[in-house]
Amino acid sequence: MWKGNFLIDALIGNTSAIQPKVIHSDTQGQSTAIFALSYLFGIELMPRIRHWKDLKFYRPKKETVYKHIDILFKDTQVALSVRVGKLQPSILLRKLGHESRKNRLYQAFRELGRVVRTIFLLRYISDTPLREQITKTTNIAERYNQFCEWIRFAVGGLMAENDPEEMQKRVRYTDIVANALMLQNVADLTDALEQLRQQGYPVQAEDVAHLSAYMTEHLQRFGEYTLKLRPVAPLSD
């Protein structure tokens, strides 16, 4: 199952004051259906696409009539159902992925997704800073995932139960531990930088930018144990 199907679930279910409008992903988050659904929600999808040269570019002709996409403007029931929480985006995307290509809803999302993805690809191949930004952001996300895998050292964090609540708890508990360790790492780095500054070493912002909160070498993942051994009396002859 492509994890791209669950990208929008997190944004739609987000009730915090911070509401992101841009979402990054790897190649699995760049299907035409995901592009279409993101566009309908006003979310700018910016994936890092592997083998993007293999994807098709679609261009309109003067005589082109968008007969399939008209349904999106006449019937917004699907988008509204997702917005109010009656339908999960991942369920809709899985359904679209298995629907017959003759289905009108599938055709509508496919046509819209082709347009949006083509526009993105044209920006992607012509804008070097954009590609650098996408690569940098995706690498940070992947590094965080590796950090969480390091925390879930027992069976690699495998979720053996097919229970959504248990899966959600596993993810949230991992995030809590990860954030606590990241906070401690930042605090330790801050103290170290302050000591260097007091000793007269120049601390440049560009150097600090290369530091990471995902360090693990100094962390005792299995704890620290102190053994108090009693002295053993020498053996008598």
Q: Give the DSSP per-residue string, 146-211.
A: HHHHHH--GGGG------HHHHHHHHHHHHHHHHHHHHHHHHHHHHHHHHHHHTT----HHHHTT-
**Tens of pLDDT, residues 5-43:** 677 777 777 778 877 788 887 776 677 778 888 888 788
What is the H or E stretch that residue 141 is in?
helix 128-151
pLDDT computed for residue 195 by the predictor = 92
Most confident of 43-57, 186-200, 219-233: 186-200
Domain edges within the chain = 3-126, 128-218
